[in-house]
Amino acid sequence: MRHILAVLVENNPGVLTRVAGLFSRRGYNIDSLTVGRTENPQISRMTIVVEGDDLVLEQVTKQLHKLIDVIKINDITSEEYVDRELVLIKVGADPSVRGEIMQIVDIFRARIVDIGRRTLIIECTGDEGKINAVIESLKPFGIKELVRTGKVAMLRGHKFTSINESREDD
């Protein structure tokens, strides 16, 4: 089963190496890992998508906790959450097919962010299903280049992943 972990870490040099190294060394499979600063510049937040049964997840979580730089881990898989991914797709686009591509872009509420003589760059945000669907739809035109960010996720409503435990909204 795939799990989504929201992990707060100290924004220290090497913290990504420590986390990524832990996964490879102990044989856990990462589907994706994203990292960036939070509202507090001293704290970064990782969203890690990891494949494994409950026993593996228990070990992953415990081993992550042993890293001194890891502050908090939240397995949000079974909770209500919003998750998003961003993709940039450079697609072959001769003038004859541009109209068709622009229709697809509209349907997915994606955007064209660059126009070249024979290519377009399309930006799309959404959950994994939507991203996969937009990629599938654009494949026939010839995808020249593709980059996706990996998943970021956040709990819905009044639940938080923060240093202080879950707290009510004011």
Provide the binding-site residues for other proteins, judged by CB under 8 A: 9-10, 13-14, 17-18, 21, 25, 43, 55, 58-59, 62-63, 65-72, 163
Q: How far is CA 57 from the centre of its chain?
A: 19
CB 54 to other proteins: min, Å:
11
Q: At what angle do helices 15-25 and 54-66 cross, to 10 degrees?
A: 140
Closer residue to other proteins (CB): 1 or 163 = 163
CB 102 to other proteins: min, Å:
46
Closer residue to other proteins (CB): 67 or 112 = 67
CB 65 to other proteins: min, Å:
7
Closer residue to other proteins (CB): 28 or 141 = 28
Nearest to 65 by CA among 35, 32, 22, 24: 22
CB 3 within 8 A of CB 77: yes
Label the pairing between strands 111-115 and 143-148. Answer: unpaired
Label the pairing between strands 119-126 and 111-115. Answer: antiparallel
One-letter amino acid of 159: K
CB 78 to other proteins: min, Å:
20
Spatial separation of the C-alpha atoms in residues 28 and 72, rounded to whole Å: 19
Closer residue to other proteins (CB): 61 or 125 = 61
